[in-house]
Amino acid sequence: MSTKRNHMRLLEISGLLILLVFLIDLQVSLNVAIPAFYAVGIVLVAGQRQHWPVFLAAGICSFLTFAPVIVDIKANIPQSAWENRLIALTMIWIAVVGDLIYLRQTELKRNIQKQLVPLFENSPLAVSIKDFHNHSVWINQQFRKLIGPADQIPGFNIVNARQPAPDNPVVTNSVNNREIRWHHNPLIDDSNQTIGTLCLGMDLTDQKRYAEMLKTSVGKRTAELSQINESLRLEIAERKRAEKELLAASKRTQDILDSFFVFVGVLSTKGTLLEANRVPLELANLNKTDVLGKPFWETYWWTWSDDSQQELKQALLQAAQGKTVRYD
């Protein structure tokens, strides 16, 4: 599309120049009009996309421009005629230069189609290839998907710079509010000449959204874990406090029992001695390890009589059954 516009622009300029010359001097216009049309023809020859037709057409047009002067070389040709022919020749070769620029752009596009397009057409990156005039000559599917056609993007000149700003490589697209990080790489031909720029865009929108989701999830999970840890800390503190109070109560009970001068003990339902107060043990010169864990009737205080041991054993069996037993 840009090439067609350039051709139309050249045709318009040529037409305006010819019209201007006609308005200024009819004689000059007769000498310049035909070479000007030659120049227009050379511009159209560039459509063949080869160099030799352009140079061939330029040579023929140049010859035809000077042929009338060369034929009448012996005649007295006015100076203005030579000047007009030189102007015409300049117009012809300006058209040739324009054609060469156009052919170079066309060659770049062909090379892009041949080499780069198969690599980047289905790439997950947004890819834009620009010529040395910094005009986009090709974009891939991902570019159209994320951004849209390059010539329809408001503010697309943000990413038209040959090199991204070092402090702001991320560009926010104004169409669909997507954040894209652009990397620009020069395209260099075999003669070490920069012929264009390869622009690679990485979509950061989904990546940032996933990062935000992960951050939110981690924050929520961290808050839950903190709440659980706080509950466990309070529970452990409460348990330690209860254990401390239980130990204190047990010690007070033990101190009370130890102050009695009579035997006070705790037995299991099978008659095993589980606890005993201190005074009876001291009077018998015993330690707790000597009596605790043994059947009560087999302890030191009852070994003096087998009958007493049997009576005590029967009394404990009755007590284990829920009966109140008094044994003196």
Model confidence over 71-125: pLDDT tens digits?
565 556 666 666 666 766 676 677 777 667 766 766 766 776 677 777 888 888 8
H and E: helices and strands count for the chain: 10, 7
Q: Please tell me the distance from the alpha carbon of residue 146 to that of residue 103, in angstroms, as a whole number.
A: 31
Tell me the CATH class for 260-320: alpha beta
> Which CATH architecture group holds 121-203?
2-Layer Sandwich (3.30)
Residue type for position 272: T
Q: Please tell me the distance from the alpha carbon of residue 254 to that of residue 260, in angstroms, as a whole number.
A: 10
Whether residue 323 has pLDDT greater than 90: no
pLDDT of residue 283: 80
Class of residue 38 by CB neighbours under 10 A (exposed 0-12, middle 13-18, buried 19+): buried
233 in Cβ contact with 158 (< 8 Å): no
Q: Are strands 265-267 and 273-276 parallel, antiparallel or unpaired?
A: antiparallel
pLDDT of residue 108: 67
Kindly list the distances between the CA atom of residue 131 and the CA atoms of 20, 111, 143, in Å, as whole numbers in the listed order: 34, 12, 17
